[in-house]
Amino acid sequence: MPFYNWNEMRRKNLAAPSESEGSIIIGEHVTLNRSVAAPGKLARPHSHGCEQLISIVSGSGWFRIGDEERTVTAGEILHIPLGTEHEFKNTGDTELVYLSFKNKSEDWPPPTATMD
């Protein structure tokens, strides 16, 4: 199916390190997920066997990528190299909404991440 609408897709937790809920589109070589983290929710330190780009859609939060950390807001894009430990916490008063682009790898997407 070539057309999707985030508003019509069911949200669920996609991966154990994160307390976010989201929807995922799984292609032949790449995935895209839209995730929502309520205020105070976080993703514990973890890494992936793939490269990742995160685009902040709305809200704000604290992110750590490797040894670098900062607060990010809507419009910012984060690049997480393959195997780099990262984590985040929604430090704002509203939902943190972000898009995450990853290539498929041995650990992504996890078996629980299905398109619904």
Residue-level pLDDT at 35: 96
Cis before 109? omega within 30: yes
Mean pLDDT computed over every residue of the chain: 94
Residue-level pLDDT at 24: 94
Q: Quick check: 35 and 20 in contact, CB under 8 A?
A: yes
Tell me what the mean pLDDT of segment 28-53 comes to. 96
